[in-house]
Amino acid sequence: MKSTLSTSYQAILKLALPISAGTFTQFLVVLTDNFFLSKVSDSALNGAGNAGILYITLAMVGQGLSSCGQILIARRVGEGRSERALVLLRTGLIGMLVIGLCLVAVVQSGLYLGFAEVFRDGATGDVFNEFMAVRKWGFLPGFAMLMMYAYFMGTARSQVLMVTMIAVGLVNIVGDALLIDGVWSMGAQGAALASFIAECIGALVLFTAVVRSNGPSFWEKTFLNQEEIWHWVKLALPLVLQLTLTLGTWSMFFFLVEQVGMLELKVSHVARNYFMLAFTVSQGVSQTTRTFVSTMIGEERGADLPQVLKRLFTVNIIGIVLLSHGLFFYPEWLAAPFFDDALGLEAASKTLPVIFLAMLIYSGSSVMLSAIQGSGHTRTALAIEVSAILIYSVCAFSLTLWWPQPVWRIWWVEFSYFSSMGAGCAWFLLRNDWRSKQI
């Protein structure tokens, strides 16, 4: 007899909090990276910042495949076929490492062909090259981590993820202190190397947890067959495209801001830091939403999903307000460590409240989008995302290249993105039977 997943607030928090705590650690890592790099030079902060965003964009290939793996694992658990979770994990680990190697080759080719020449500021382009030359190797341990992350989330065991992310964060922070402007003073390359070492440690911690929790069964040579792999790829492809387009568009945004001015770019990277602060809550709730929706559909409990989504939204918005209210009420204090000049501090202080208000909209749209993904309607999620991206892109070009605006007005583009995405998600969820799709 298969057990059913509890949908109480306690059960939601038990799954979401460890993920959010781990993501919060990653926020501290990014904040530390940028703090040390800002002390080196503005070019170091801007070049490494843009390189980091591009790296995350490419990493969405692995994120999309692993997120779909999480959905499939949760569905099999809900169907009472938990033994298939380990088969999915084994197959996914091999596939992720192959994809990681391909992305290393793609990045190296881009560096060789002179991608950094797109920067208006030559010093920023040089830092971009230095950072990516090291950072590209992070795809290998990073993608392995994503797949093991999906396994533990799909089986509703998130505690180990918090431990892993804390370990990754601590190693990265210590590495930043030693390698950026400390004992070895490697600048942007030091930040990239610290991240790579931290990801290797994280992959080792997760791998140890997987082996310990499964024993000899982990080493069995049972994998998905060709038909099952192709089914996974077809289901994941819209999600991969969706995530890549989303982060790719965000990368484009920062390259557009660089064309407006270096001050605007620096302010935007500081704003990105605090954007991630609010994102830590939404990330945990989004992952939890996909697991709950997929598992409950597998348990044939689709009728209970509307109430669960309301609870997830409540947790999301309360968490965002608690964690990031300072962006609205005391933004100048949060921005002060990154700026020595009054002009930059003023610009950042006007930008951070915009981030807070945008994340309030995202608190609802992210839960709805994750519900659509968790139900298996990944093509629909892609269509909604593409529509929102088109609106966002028009607004971004308008406020940077066509009619350049102060940086706090440029960040208004986030309202257009989250609002249009939320409207599309609400339309689909209210007008379609999405709670019975088989995957």
Tell me the one-letter amino acid at 40: V
18 pLDDT higher than 60: yes
pLDDT of residue 2: 52
Residue 161 has which token pair? 């993820």
In the three-class reduction of DSSP (H, G, I as helix; E, B as strand; rest coil), residue 5 is classed as: coil
Amino acid (1-letter code) at residue 274: Y
Q: What is the pLDDT of residues 176-218, one digit of tens each?
A: 888 987 677 788 888 889 989 999 999 999 999 999 989 888 8
Say how far apart CA 334 and CA 84 lie, in whole Å: 47
Q: Which residue has the higher pLDDT, 104 or 82?
A: 104
CB atoms within 10 A of CB 187: 22
| Among 148, 10, 72, residue whose Cα is nearest residue 374 | 72
Average pLDDT (226-235) is: 89
* CA atoms lying within 13 Å on the CB side of residue 51: 34
- Give the residue among 354, 371, 372 at the shortest CA–CA distance from 417: 354
**CB distance 46 to 258 below 8 Å:** yes
Residue 298, CA distances (Å) to 4, 150, 234 in order? 10, 17, 19
When pLDDT is cut at 50, 70 and 90, the band that residue 27 belongs to is: low
Structure tokens at 47: 């070049």
* Average pLDDT estimate for 416-431: 92
* Model confidence at 363: pLDDT above 60: yes
Cβ neighbors of 387 (< 8 A, separation 6 or more) are 420, 424
Stretch 356-372: mean pLDDT, rounded?
Answer: 91
What pLDDT, on the 0 to 100 scale, is given for residue 393?
93
Per DSSP (E only), the strands in 246-391 are: none
In this predicted structure, what is the pLDDT of residue 3?
55
Q: What is the mean pLDDT of residues 117-141?
A: 88
Which one, of 275, 300, 217, 208, lies nearest residue 53 by Cα? Answer: 275
Indicate the DSSP class of residue 2: P
Q: Does position 302 have pLDDT exceeding 90, yes or no?
A: no
Share the mean pLDDT of the chain: 86
Is the distance from CB of 20 to CB of 283 less than 8 angstroms?
yes
Percent of the chain with pLDDT over 90: 31
Q: By mean pLDDT, which of 22-26, 241-245, 414-418 is the weakest?
A: 22-26
For residue 13, with 0-12 CB atoms within 10 Å meaning exposed, 13-18 middle and 19 or more buried, which class applies?
A: middle
Amino acid 86 reads: L
Q: Hey, what are 221's tokens?
A: 């040579």
| Torsion sign across C-alpha atoms 121, 126, 129, 130 | negative
Q: Are 245 and 421 in contact (CB under 8 A)?
A: no
Q: Residues 164, 202: contact at Cβ < 8 Å?
A: yes
Mean pLDDT of 73-90: 86
- Position 329 scores a pLDDT of 92
Higher pLDDT, 277 or 136: 136
At 74, is the pLDDT very low, low, confident or very high (cuts 50, 70, 90)? confident
Residue 1: the pLDDT is 43
- How far is 43 from 48, CA to CA, in rounded Å? 8
Give the separation between CA 209 and CA 406, rounded to whole angstroms. Answer: 48
With the C-alpha atoms ordered 336, 48, 236, 12, is the resulting torsion angle positive or negative?
A: negative
Q: What is the mean pLDDT of residues 131-150?
A: 92
The amino acid present at 308, given as its one-letter code, is V
Tokens at 329, concatenated:
């009420």
Give the whole-angstrom CA distance, residue 412 versus residue 109.
Answer: 35
What is the rounded CA–CA span in Å between residue 308 and residue 129? 46
Question: At CA 152, angle to CA 150 and CA 155, rounded to 5?
Answer: 105
Q: What percent of the chain shows pLDDT beyond 70?
A: 96
Q: What is the pLDDT of residue 25?
A: 65
Please state the pTM of the whole predicted model: 0.74
Alpha-carbon distances, residue 437 vs 79, 296, 297 (angstroms): 13, 11, 8
Instruction: Label residue 417 by pLDDT band (50, 70, 90).
Output: very high
Contact 60, 111 (CB under 8 A): no
Residue 212 CB-half CA count within 13 A: 8
| Beta carbons within 8 Å of 305's beta carbon, 6+ residues apart | 292, 293, 296, 297, 371, 435
Residues 6+ apart with CB under 8 A from 202: 141, 145, 164, 165, 167, 168
